Amino acid sequence: MSEAVSKLSLETKIKLKYKEWEVEITCVEDKVKNVVENVLTGIDIASLSSTKTNSEIEKLKTQLNKANNLGVKFIFAEQAKRLMF
């Protein structure tokens, strides 16, 4: 029982707000720096990936609008419905 108590006393809880993320981290004291760095890196990677994806989506929307303005008709929705059923 005393081992469990001593283990709990070494754990640290951190509430971290970074960009639009809010996380709660629980880890042993000697791992705090490493864990926080890993969490921040993960958030940065996720944010970068999201930004890149949003940029690509906007480019595709622009291309679709240009094609639509040229009279090209898209039937993706109908094809998707057929594939789903």
Position 36 scores a pLDDT of 92
Residue of 22, 23, 26 lying closest to 13 (CA atoms): 26
pLDDT in tens, the chain (85 residues): 556 555 556 899 999 898 888 999 999 989 999 999 999 999 888 887 777 787 888 888 888 777 777 766 655 655 556 665 5
* Cα 72-76-79 angle, rounded to 5 deg: 130
Domain hosting residue 23, numbered range: 2-84
Rounded to two decimals, what is the model's pTM? 0.54
Number of structural domains in the chain: 1
Residue of 36, 28, 33, 24 lying closest to 12 (CA atoms): 28
